[in-house]
Amino acid sequence: MSGCESATRRQFLAVTGSLAAAATAAAPGLPKVRFGNVEITRLIIGSNPLYGYSHFNRILDGMMREWMTQDRRMEILHRAEQCGINTWQVHYNDPTIEDLKRYRAEGGRMHWLLLADFELMKNWKLLPAVARLNPIGIAHHGNRTDERFRAGQMEIVRDFVKAVHDAGVPAGVSTHNPAVVEYIEERGWDVDYYMTCMYRVTRTREEARRELGEAPIGEIYLERDPERMCAVVRKTRKTCFAFKVLAAGRNINSAEQLEAAFRFVLTNIKPQDAIIVGMFPRFKDEIRENVALVSRILAGAPAAS
């Protein structure tokens, strides 16, 4: 390890480690809800920043991946657990499974909620082996779901859900499109939960042109998308895990904007639902701050003036 890398690592540990007691004192504690056979915190740590998926551009992706060594990912997961988060949402890939095994070998006890991706989306025969790692749920990947919905191939998604159930694991469907939840609900699928993106980032350019008259550059984040998704979340009796609550970092430019984004979603989903939030604590103890803020909102505290 170079002197520069060592200094950076010491700086990270100083930021995260010295605030452990403060994290406990700052928040009333994260509420938990029942999901299947376990209790999960209503704030779940996501995985996109841990693996360099910024949803901004390749430069930020690269910077995230350069900084996010496996050692740092372990520190972040243990820090999340230390601050009271008891569930980690992660996509399937060889590096993520390696991280899961190391985290558990180091004594990590968070539940893990799996988003099927990469090889697992192609080869469902892997499901029994994945099930033996005890995920609390496995969901069909949201991008693939939206593609199937657009192509009129939802029977493939339904078959995946059945394959997950056959492996003995609760099955979910992830989507960015409220119409997908409505479609499944209308047909009474045997689905245990949904992962519901607060922004419909999978709009095609053609769909954007029909809605907006032109196609924006890059992923599309519309201000009323959370309102549209929360409306269908409230209608279903199934547990929903809301993600991209902060619009992939677009809602963090001030403390007021951050709180407003959290507050809107937490007050517009059901009491049994939870939120998934990716965290990148390179510059501050983002984990502690998020736990404190979410705990305060869920405790009924008014917005900060």
| pLDDT tens per residue across span 258-297 | 999 999 999 999 999 999 999 999 999 999 999 999 999 9
Give the pLDDT of residue 29: 86
Residue 22 confidence (pLDDT): 40
The span from the CA of 106 to the CA of 56, in Å, is: 33
Residue 28 pLDDT grade (very low, low, confident, very high; cuts 50, 70, 90): low
pLDDT in tens, 88-106: 999 999 999 999 999 999 9
SS3 sequence of the chain:
CCHHHHHHHHHHHHHHHCCHHHHHHHCCCCCEEEECCEEEECEEECCCHHHCCCCCCHHHHHHHHHHCCHHHHHHHHHHHHHCCCCEEEEECCHHHHHHHHHHHHCCCCCEEEEECCCHHHHCHHHHHHHHCCCCCEEEECHHHHHHHHHHCCHHHHHHHHHHHHHCCCCEEEEECCHHHHHHHHHHCCCCCEEEEECCCCCCCHHHHHHHHCCCCCCCCCCCCHHHHHHHHHHHCCCEEEEECCCCCCCCCCCHHHHHHHHHHHHHHCCCCCEEEECCCCCCCCHHHHHHHHHHHHHCCCCCCC
pLDDT digits (tens, 9 = 90+) for 230-262: 999 999 999 999 999 999 999 999 999 999 999
Between 69 and 27, whose confidence is greater?
A: 69
- For 110-159, how does the pLDDT look when each residue is reduced to its tens digit (9 = 90+)? 999 999 989 999 999 999 999 999 999 999 999 999 999 999 999 999 99
Write the pLDDT tens digit of every residue in 36-47: 999 999 999 999
Model confidence pLDDT, tens digit, residues 57-70: 999 999 999 999 99
Q: Is the pLDDT of residue 80 over 60?
A: yes
**Each residue's pLDDT tens digit, 161-199:** 999 999 999 999 999 999 999 999 999 999 999 999 999
- Given this model, what pLDDT does residue 304 score? 82
Between 177 and 1, the more confident residue is: 177
pLDDT number for residue 1: 46
Provide the pLDDT for residue 171: 98
Q: What is the pLDDT of residue 5?
A: 44
Q: Full-prediction pTM beyond 0.75?
A: yes
Domains of the chain in sequence order: 40-296 (3.20.20.60)
